[in-house]
């Protein structure tokens, strides 16, 4: 059980922080045209559904890490909207 | 239990297919410079760890969808290597 919790937290932390380098890159370059907005829309929907799954399982690693991922996906979409070439 | 399985498959399917629009965009435009390779390296590590978590839980939705995600992350990294400006 303890190993399971550690692996879950590690897995969730990795997928949760994955969007961060893309966000940093966009903030630094102010360029988003090659980034697919649909990718982050689907990711956001997926992470929201994983939260729901975690709630059903009462599984905290799934809930917390996916809630963080969802926040980052939405941040990326806001950046896409801000820096998108008019 | 049945609802849990459906939500798990839905969540996993969404996060699994999320990379696809980015891959299609890259293949179509042959441009990858604004895409963060680190994002897909961390995603690949995360999805591989989620597979491990799924194996520990004997949870098939987690295993199968993350194995697919891992494949797509690696495909994106191959495209990044191919189309990266020399």
Chain-centroid distance of CA A45 in Å reads: 10
Predicted confidence (pLDDT) per residue in B30-84, tens digit: 999 999 999 999 999 999 999 999 999 998 878 998 999 999 999 999 999 999 8
What per-residue confidence (pLDDT) applies to B56?
A: 93
Asked if the C-beta of A62 comes within 8 angstroms of chain B's C-beta atoms, the answer is no
Which domains are seen in chain A, by residue range? 2-83 (1.20.1280.290)
- The residue of chain B with its CA nearest to that of A52 is B7
- Comparing CB atoms, the residue among B15, B31, B46 nearest residue A14 is B46
Q: Name the minimum distance, in Å, from the CA of B72 to any CA of chain A.
A: 12
Residue B26 has pLDDT above 70, yes or no: yes
Asked if the C-beta of A10 comes within 8 angstroms of chain B's C-beta atoms, the answer is yes
- Burial string for A15-25 (b: 16+ CB within 10 Å, else e) reads bbbbbbbbbeb
Predicted confidence (pLDDT) per residue in B3-16, tens digit: 888 998 899 899 99
What per-residue confidence (pLDDT) applies to B7?
A: 92
What per-residue confidence (pLDDT) applies to A1?
A: 64
Predicted confidence (pLDDT) per residue in A31-71, tens digit: 999 999 999 999 999 999 999 999 999 988 789 989 999 99
CA dihedral B26, A23, A41, A36 (to 10 degrees): -20
Asked if the C-beta of A49 comes within 8 angstroms of chain B's C-beta atoms, the answer is yes
What Cα–Cα distance (Å) separates residue B30 from each residue in A24, A33, A48, B71, B80? 22, 13, 31, 20, 9
């Amino acid at each position: 059980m303890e190993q399971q919790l550690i692996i879950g937290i590690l897995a969730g932390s990795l997928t949760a922080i994955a969007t961060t380098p893309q966000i940093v890159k966009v903030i630094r370059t102010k360029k988003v045209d090659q980034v697919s907005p649909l990718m982050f829309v689907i990711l956001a929907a997926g992470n929201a559904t994983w939260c729901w799954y975690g709630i059903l399982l009462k599984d905290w690693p799934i809930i917390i890490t996916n809630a963080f991922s969802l926040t980052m996906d939405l941040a990326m979409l806001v950046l896409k909207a801000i820096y998108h070439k008019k």
